[in-house]
Amino acid sequence: MKNVFTLAIAACLVLGSALVAEAKDIKKEQDFLNAVAGKKLVDGGTWVLISPDGKISGQTSDKVKFSGAWAWNKRFWCRTLVVGGNQIPQDCQKVTLEGNQVTFTRNKGKGDSGGTYTITN
């Protein structure tokens, strides 16, 4: 009986670890396009749409609309934004995908978080 119990625990651990998605840095533009382009990304009341044609649109949790442009540069997603009429300087960010969660890290991965968003469609 003890062997059956041990085997059951081992099976649960193996299956459980297989279901956990591992975070993966997106390093190629095509992988980025496949993962997030054309999909709505949501973080609380904030949403953003990153279009395959290099445009960005969205709205903050305070209902302030923003827009901008993006381009892929080597291993980073580089974007410029206009938020509520204010120009935000370009920032190139590291992009990490884990399941349906995408995280942007400012200053080529060396800065603060640019947010973690749920991919909704």
Structural domain boundaries in the chain: 22-119
CB contact set of 27 (below 8 Å; sequence gap of 6+): 75
Query: Cβ distance 91 to 114 under 8 Å?
Result: yes
Query: Cβ distance 121 to 40 under 8 Å?
Result: yes
| 48: β partners | 41, 58
Does the pLDDT of residue 18 top 90, yes or no? no
Lowest mean pLDDT among 17-21, 23-27, 73-77, 83-87: 17-21
Note the pLDDT tens digit of each residue in 70-96: 999 999 999 999 999 999 999 999 999
The whole-model pTM stands at 0.80
| Nearest one of 47, 51, 77 to 65, comparing CA atoms | 47
Q: What is the DSSP letter of 35?
A: H
- Greater model confidence, 90 or 20: 90
| 71: β partners | 78
